[in-house]
Structure 1
């Protein structure tokens, strides 16, 4: 090798140092060795503390870097092969051994190379600790896995039995023991958020004092070269506090747990109504079990051993995690959409983690970042908003959660700009933000799912409301007023038999048919009335501000008093209004009443309120359920997040998984639709009839 001064013979009487020179010289050069060659074994057996003079280390590093650059092209080549695959099973990615080479001892005949690659990659992630010396290798391995699994981008949003994804299918076929360790390590990477010091590696490469062995220093040179783009990003953006390894680990985990492998089974059905035999070929499809999703759903807190009702410990291996650390990390990272999706995955799929969240007394750690996301809805994606609302709906299904949020007081809310919110309860803030989100949806997004989620969460919270603040109470009554004005507008259009294209409704409606939208708003108004009724029925003595807000705006309810859908609910509201009006009138004060005086009368008479004349209605309870095909939303959604946040680029014209913006012939950005628009989040809200 011309790049290294000495290249002595490998065998025979060569001295150990000369043998090392030869092995390392070949390693940093351009020569390749078969997998079965004993060269690799001899190279790995070299002592790590082997010494070389500094000038020879520099020379070897320069040579290694020169040839390493060409290796980088393999990453781009893999992306190119996937983007331009001409077969449905990605034959271009199926590597094979040279038939003239002997089969390595750890590679069985008939075994696919993608399976060997995936086993090796997952084993490295699972068993090699992240350290300054291995950080970049872990990161590059995660990047490779992401690229290898990107074959999903070429498929449609609905998985079919003919979809083939070699590497991700190989991951799904791994032993459960390996899957559990990989899931645990990916989540630990997310929790610990290891960071790489930009200067620590380069400062060690050619240091003279206490210099490491030559193998370590040559490896460091390669790692330092890979670090150059990262160093530039950190220095130019100031995001040194980010952890690309944590973000990459989360991306890989989300891709794995939301993968759905569709399988089919053929069978013959006899048709013999007339006594004749007529076989019919049938095909049924189903989804294979996802071991990664199962591992996440069964993860347990490292502090406790889960014991079932019969007293038997859970059988089989489990992923054990520090739930406390995971909770705290999520609280710090929930401004990021991928972290919101992880939290959704945990509270929806893992009952142990949901239970852990519900018993925490510092719920503001998780809820405040999500409330801030809803507050800043105009700068967030609609899917981000949806996932946050679904999490709130899931949490609101628990009565202890609904009670505890009103006991947690917030000294201030610095990001709320409309007014100062000092010493307000977390529950009051949730009510304020959810109503604000409804208002935003009404003017901007105009999505029926979003309205439904917000109102369902408020309905679950209503019976447990405790000392709702004056501002939250006023907003709750204003919510009815806002929806009633929309309802009246729709009713007027329907009564006048106006067409949507001739009116002014088209720009701010859910449906083109005003009748259908009128029906939706009829339900929304009833739901708000049921929310108010639940507070008055179950918690009136504890909520004088709600009573005051209703009395102050009682005129907004009057037009609906005779409505057949609302009359019974409004009878309850006016029973309360009449009771407190009579108490105020009995004071016989001639002067104008101040707000404080009216409120004090309400507070005094709340103690004597017995609920006489109130009709009892079934307490509302809304639950969240995924639709029958959640994969049609989540698989495209996960890959949208990956492409948005990982720096991984893919040719937009090759993507069939979701609509992507492409440029038309005039250079303007237009929407490319593949297999239809993305559906709204997979959710279903159940409510009592």
Structure 2
């Protein structure tokens, strides 16, 4: 560090770094800070590089740990950064690249210290270490840092000379929030969260939410050309040979590609998800970032809607956000954002329900369900819950049968030259149920699958023959499995845990079978004339009804299906040469005269998604697991206790 070009290998010989870690106190006005902040080290950009840096500096920071209580050099470092941060806006306007660069380096040093100390210390201890003791008071520098990071992200425009600073702000704020989250989940208290949610940091909550959401919508990567040194000139920095971030000379064997190193949009989204998924259940204060995210208005709507919450002080183009969401639903961070918006942002939900290009979103979600085993279970759950939320709208359920999809190449089980979007959804959801029952028997997953199909059932129209075949085939497959489980339970060899498991499997199978029967009944009750292919498939597998009719749990609903089956069987029996086309034609004519009054009325199938009583128990660990797996920060398994101690579902 200092004015010479540094490398990780020779950090242990760096004079300025030794001054910071040593036993001699540095005041905030010491000229050594300028030398320290003028280093030309390739600051780590990727997770692997951050890990290498943390390992290489472990001994130095042990020295800092032992000396800091006496020197308070970390507090002086933070005071210097905070003083510089207040001047950043003016420096950005004046294009003072040297000042911006040095401030970015100062923040990197602060983040490096955090990266070491969060493994060892709790929030209260870190706040004490980074405090400034005056004669009659103690200033919490970490709270001031959190506020300054928010203000930098909001006030300093993102462009070439500030891109690295923005990136450091996001990462440092993420580390602060990790410390705060650990404290929050332990005793439901956090000084940093209180500052950001209820204190000075909350003043810019709406603006920060808008800024992060705009970064995400724009999907603007930080170009490699932005990751270069500031222009040389008459400055104190004389030895900059390779620049701040000489990425072009990085080894081609680096674990992360260049575009991943400049994944600025998704890092912004990660920070937004962290901010909005904590403190959502607080009684004493509300989360202003969450309020802003769930109530911003459409900038293209000519009708000015008054914000529901004071923090909802911004407007954003819904169409741009919608397009970005649809394009990136393969990323679980995007899926979680869409879930939050659909579940609790009424205006945006209404916009999605009525969007002319709804197939973009639905197809992207169906692709994630189809991949299934290749994705993490939480991502699968989120995709499915979003489909359930969409199916709560009657207009959506009706419209998806008017949209024709031609040859979806990602659906590799069979060639589908032409199928309705609704029919494709039924195929993929029934496939998900079948795979789940066979492999995992995850009740949570199949319950949401069935609820989605049930909401759609009364709107089934002109289903593709393959769609109908898969739906009825699922009924037959699960019934065979039920019979096999019943036979196993009759065996005297099955005892203890094995018997309990079989009884649980039987309960799940009977629940799924009952719901599938109700789904078929709803389709026939409400849309009989538009479901000739479904009637044909039921007639083709009529024997399954004969078996299910004997089970007390199914008799009432099977009676309705028998009425339909018997009526059309009688008509078909009168055909002299009953080919497929002749049978379908007979069914079509028979629908006109079918005596609907003979069908028993059942309650309308209508399901709504409801979050668990304590949603934070699931969402906080989930968000931090995404930070661990997708951020450039260096996390060890021991660090991420948030993701293991409170894992839900």
Corresponding residue for residue 159 of structure 2: 131
Corresponding residue for residue 29 of structure 1: 35
Corresponding residue for residue 95 of structure 1: 130
Deviations 1:250-286 (A, max 9, x none): 11111111112777xxxxxxxxxxxxxxxxxxxxxx5
The change in CA–CA distance for 1:246 and 1:43 in structure 2 (over 3 A counts) is closer
Corresponding residue for residue 113 of structure 2: 77
Cα shift at 1:125: 1.1
SS in 2 for 1:97: strand
Q: Distance in 1 between matches of 2:243 and 2:208?
A: 26
How many residues are paired up?
582
The alignment status of 1:601 with 2:586, answered yes or no, reads yes
The alignment status of 1:328 with 2:323, answered yes or no, reads yes
Cα shift at 1:433: 0.5
- Unaligned runs of 5+ residues in structure 1 are 5-22, 52-56, 104-108, 207-212, 264-285, 506-511, 660-673, 681-689
Corresponding residue for residue 293 of structure 1: 290
SS in 1 for 2:323: helix
Corresponding residue for residue 614 of structure 1: 599
Q: Distance in 1 between matches of 2:547 and 2:249?
A: 64
Q: Which residue, 450, 469, 473 being the options, matches 1:474?
A: 469
- Unaligned runs of 5+ residues in structure 2 are 5-28, 38-75
Q: Which residue, 316, 333, 336 being the options, matches 1:338?
A: 333
Q: Distance in 2 between matches of 1:494 and 1:603?
A: 44
CA contact (8 A) 2:224 2:247 kept: no
The alignment status of 1:434 with 2:466, answered yes or no, reads no
CA contact (8 A) 2:400 2:420 kept: yes
CA contact (8 A) 1:114 1:170 kept: no
Deviations 1:299-358 (A, max 9, x none): 2111227678xxx77574523211100000001111001100000010011111111100
The alignment status of 1:549 with 2:547, answered yes or no, reads no
Q: How does 1:121-200 map to 2 (within 5 A)?
A: 121-151=149-179, 154=182, 159=185, 162-174=187-199, 177-199=203-225
The change in CA–CA distance for 1:259 and 1:203 in structure 2 (over 3 A counts) is closer
SS in 2 for 1:658: helix
RMSD over aligned Cα, in angstroms? 3.9
CA contact (8 A) 2:367 2:410 kept: yes
Q: Distance in 2 between matches of 1:220 and 1:426?
A: 62
Q: Distance in 2 between matches of 1:242 and 1:42?
A: 28
The change in CA–CA distance for 1:218 and 1:307 in structure 2 (over 3 A counts) is same
Q: How does 1:357-372 map to 2 (within 5 A)?
A: 357-372=352-367
CA contact (8 A) 2:131 2:138 kept: no
The change in CA–CA distance for 1:40 and 1:189 in structure 2 (over 3 A counts) is closer
Q: Distance in 2 between matches of 1:205 and 1:526?
A: 71
The alignment status of 1:253 with 2:263, answered yes or no, reads no
Question: Would you tell me which structure has more helix in proportion to its own residues?
Answer: 2
SS in 2 for 1:488: helix
Cα shift at 1:148: 1.3
Q: Distance in 2 between matches of 1:300 and 1:40?
A: 32
Corresponding residue for residue 52 of structure 2: none
Q: Distance in 2 between matches of 1:42 and 1:313?
A: 33
CA contact (8 A) 2:462 2:531 kept: yes
The change in CA–CA distance for 1:219 and 1:347 in structure 2 (over 3 A counts) is farther
CA contact (8 A) 2:369 2:432 kept: yes
The alignment status of 1:571 with 2:559, answered yes or no, reads yes
The change in CA–CA distance for 1:49 and 1:415 in structure 2 (over 3 A counts) is closer
CA contact (8 A) 2:295 2:345 kept: yes
Cα shift at 1:97: 2.8
TM-score, normalising length: structure 1: 0.76
SS in 1 for 2:622: helix
SS in 2 for 1:638: helix
Deviations 1:402-451 (A, max 9, x none): 01111111122111111111221111111011011111212223210011
